[in-house]
Copies of this chain bind each other. A is one copy, B any other.
Amino acid sequence: MKPLFKDTLKIVNVGLAGFGDNVVAAGGECVALTWQPPAHGDRDAAWALAQVLNDPTIEEANKVAFARLLEANPVLIDVAVARDVMPAMASGRKLILHAGPPIAWAAMCGPMRGGILGAVVLEGWADTTDDATRLVEAGSVALEPCHHHGAVGPMAGIISPSMPVWVVENATGGNRAYSNFNEGLGKVLRFGANDRGVIDRLRFIARDVAPTLRAAVKQLGRIELKSLMAQALNMGDEVHNRNAAATALLFKQLAPALLATDVPRERAAAALNFVAGNDHFFLNLSMAACKAMLDAAGNVPASSLVTAMSRNGVNFGIRLSGTGDRWFEAPANPIDGLYFPGYSLADAAPDLGDSAITETAGVGGFAMAAAPAIVKFVGGTAADALHHSLRMRAITLGANPSFTLPALDFAGVAAGIDARKVVDRGILPVINSGIAHREPGVGQIGAGITTAPMACFGAAVEELARTVASSATRAKQ
């Protein structure tokens, strides 16, 4: 037989491995490309994607939204009590905020339930967690997402009316965002613990720490969070799971300012010791800063920029700028993590918390190249850290030059997730995450890396396609 090809075949095989096998069997060379169809093969999402890829309306909208994200300048301007700054709490309404998209009490995971019961006791609406359970099951306590009130909270994300919150303002756009105070590690409310020690610590934070730090913030006028985060990214933090440098830099501003106030010395010392004793203290400020940046980029009609990614312990939810307050949800992906001694995947609650707002803004997992030391906490190698930051460039609208990565010669972090690119390229946003025990009261049992589920992005792109199509129809009429 006469050969069909003159030279030995050297091919790249996309799709079924079987095609390549035949070439190799016939003496050729084959490289298998690990390719998947768009939307991981979801036909509806892929069809919607075809409608919105390269759509000039969306491209223009994304330019506007991305510019607002980059121009946002989050500054800490105050410390307040939640009910004083959140109108929905002002009336004395029994309202508790939680992480993630909306979820009913009956469907909630253990840590979120534990956190809510603790907050009910903290507020004095019940004396015991048993009484609190009855109250919540009777529907007497409203449970709503932090994100619906301009707020974010790590893990269970519990914010109740008497809790102190950070008040962060985007100095460019004027929008504000809130977050609760970080309690430290171990048995804490955000991991579902709610015993006497947890409640006492929350009272100490509200009574002693928050008013004292408020005095320092007022003395300083404001604290520039954007530049502080930028410095921390050059000091080994990714300002999600590692905040050691950011906390130290914050402390270095707070302490001299506090000495210039009339706060009594013992009170100042107690607050400063609390901050100095918790390397994660800055996390909640990082989250509020990211929320303020992303809210600035929100509600631009037709924009496919992702403005929120969040987990309620059951579902993962995202929001797009062009689809406003609507959530697109899917079951959370598992966390590939390092567990503390004695714990394993079987003990873990599903992915939980609003803290993926950091990745949504281009830091956290997106900035892992800044924080090779994080791999000791979440697993992997220094090369993995670089790889994560580089890979995220494929699904974002650009880079944020304000947040630089020294290990990549000061390239800006990949920022502004484009839901279309996630669906098109099959590359999922990477997220650094703490791992909570599935039972309330145990606390953190590890940390690791997870991804946002594809189905959220597919659903979001489908809705965006509908929105853009109907706008175009209206425009023609």
Contact = CB atoms under 8 A, between A and B. Distances in A.
A264 to B, nearest CB: 10
A30 interface: no
A472 interface: no
Interface residues of A, number: 34
Interface stretch (A201-209, A356-364, A395-403, A407-415): A407-415
Interface string A229-249: 001001111000000110011
A259 B248 contact: no
Given A259-B268, A269-B259, A276-B252, A407 B410 contact: no
Nearest to A273: B256
Contacts of A376: 406, 410
A372 interface: yes
A231 B244 CA distance: 10
B256 A248 contact: no
Total copies of the chain: 2
A1 to B, nearest CB: 35
A409 B381 CA distance: 6
A276 B408 CA distance: 29
A382 interface: yes
A47 interface: no
A171 interface: no
Interface in A252-271: 252-253, 255-256, 259-260, 265, 268-269
A373 interface: yes
Contacts of A235: 235-237, 244-245, 373
A167 to B, nearest CB: 24
A251 interface: yes
A406 B245 contact: no
Interface in A176-217: none
A23 interface: no
Nearest to A381: B409
B236 A372 contact: no
Given A235-B244, A407-B407, A259 B252 contact: no
A252 B255 CA distance: 9
A406 B236 contact: yes
Contact of A382 (B268, B375, B407): B407
A244 B260 CA distance: 24
A3 to B, nearest CB: 30
A407 B252 CA distance: 27
A212 to B, nearest CB: 12
Interface of A: 231, 234-237, 244-245, 248-249, 251-253, 255-256, 259-260, 265, 268-269, 272-273, 276, 372-373, 375-376, 381-383, 406-410
24 contacts: A231-B244, A235-B235, A235-B236, A235-B237, A235-B245, A236-B245, A245-B245, A248-B248, A248-B249, A251-B251, A251-B252, A252-B276, A253-B276, A256-B272, A256-B276, A259-B265, A259-B269, A265-B265, A372-B406, A373-B406, A375-B406, A376-B406, A382-B407, A383-B409
When A and B form their complex, which 7 residue pairs have the shortest distance between CB atoms, in order from nearest?
A372-B406, A248-B248, A259-B269, A255-B255, A373-B406, A235-B236, A234-B373
